[in-house]
Amino acid sequence: MYIYNVTTNIDESVEQEWLSWMQDTHIPDMLETGKFLSAKLCKVMVEEEMGGVTYSVQYMVETIEALKAFYRENASLLKNRANAKFGNKFVFFETEMQLIDEQFTANN
């Protein structure tokens, strides 16, 4: 299992619009590619020196091949939509991670 993580710092002036767009449009569009199993949207609990608010979206993907297919087939279009909508109001970086172990409490 792999995680495609996108960390975004969004300008406070468009934070709520961006958050709604992420939940109602972008994340569903990402999942509709068929490459990802699930997505978690998290607010990063840190005060940024550069300002803005930071979020992380973690997309679970079963194989590295599926992630590579996403890059080939879908990434440019989806990134261009974000750039067209929010322009210079955000910056982001991507991280690929391999899930090594996942443990739960006895209650889960």
The domains found in the chain, sorted by start residue, are: 2-98 (3.30.70.100)
Query: So what's the pLDDT on residue 50?
Result: 81
Query: So what's the pLDDT on residue 108?
Result: 63
Residue 103 pLDDT level (bands cut at 50, 70, 90): very high
- The per-residue pLDDT for range 24-81, each reduced to its tens digit, is 999 999 999 999 999 999 999 988 788 899 999 999 999 999 999 999 999 999 999 9
Query: So what's the pLDDT on residue 48?
Result: 79
SS (H, E, C) the chain: CEEEEEEEEECHHHHHHHHHHHHHHHHHHHHHCCCCCEEEEEECCCCCCCCCEEEEEEEEECCHHHHHHHHHHCHHHHHHHHHHHHHHHEEEEEEEEECCCCCCCCCC
pTM: 0.91
